[in-house]
């Protein structure tokens, strides 16, 4: 008999995807506002530090991202904005697109048939495998990937305790 690895959350992932499809189809604006996006992350560690890498494409300014470092967690909060090519800085929503009249002097805006890229606020709490020193943490953002380096807190080596028997 072959042993199959037990993956209890595998079925939950497909259920989540199916629920997202159903909600986006039946309640598109409500679903987008209600269910927030959490960036995909990788967490690794060495003897000295914990490294968190998060995919957050589309950030352009520091004020679009907030990082809070706790002893055993990192909290990422922010907002991804998508701008129209002919109107810099304009955040487009599907409701605004329906209301805006078409100006003959401007090039026609694309009419999206299907879109999967996330636009809006996100929030993610990431558990860390070790306690970290928040005062020495650093973060860099390049090519849509956020890298956070968190030095580990040096743990006391402890001491051997002798037990007195009576």
Residue 97 lies in a domain: no
Chain-centroid distance of CA 159 in Å reads: 41
CATH of the domain at 48: 2.60.40.790
Residue 108 lies in a domain: no
Task: Give the structural domain span for 58.
Answer: 37-90+118-154
Query: How many separate domains does the chain show?
Result: 1
Element (H, E) at 51: strand 49-55
Residue 28 lies in a domain: no
Residue 77 lies in a domain: yes
pLDDT digits (tens, 9 = 90+) for 19-66: 877 776 676 554 444 445 689 999 999 999 999 999 998 888 887 899
Q: What pLDDT band is residue 152 in, cutting at 50, 70 and 90?
A: very high
Residue 69 lies in a domain: yes
pTM (predicted TM-score): 0.60
Residue 142 lies in a domain: yes
Check pLDDT > 60 for residue 147.
yes
Residue 51 lies in a domain: yes
pLDDT digits (tens, 9 = 90+) for 111-136: 777 777 777 888 999 999 999 999 99
Query: Which sign, positive or negative, has the C-alpha torsion 68, 69, 71, 74?
Result: positive
CA distance 111 to 102: 12
Q: What pLDDT band is residue 93 in, cutting at 50, 70 and 90?
A: very low
């Amino acid at each position: 008999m072959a042993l199959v690895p037990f993956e209890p959350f595998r079925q939950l992932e497909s259920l989540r995807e199916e629920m997202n499809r159903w909600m986006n189809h039946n309640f598109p604006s409500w679903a987008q506002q209600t269910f927030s996006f959490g960036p995909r992350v990788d967490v690794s560690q060495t003897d000295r530090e914990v490294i968190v890498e998060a995919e957050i494409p589309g950030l352009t300014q520091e004020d679009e991202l907030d990082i809070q470092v706790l002893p055993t967690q990192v909290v990422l909060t922010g907002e991804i904005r998508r701008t129209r090519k002919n109107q810099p800085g304009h955040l487009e929503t599907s409701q605004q697109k329906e209301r805006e009249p078409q100006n003959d002097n401007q090039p026609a805006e694309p009419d999206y048939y299907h879109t999967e890229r996330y636009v809006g606020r996100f929030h993610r709490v990431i558990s860390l495998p070790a306690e970290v020193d928040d005062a020495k943490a650093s973060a860099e953002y390049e090519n849509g990937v956020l890298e956070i380096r968190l030095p580990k807190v040096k743990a006391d080596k402890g001491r051997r305790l002798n037990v007195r028997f009576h």
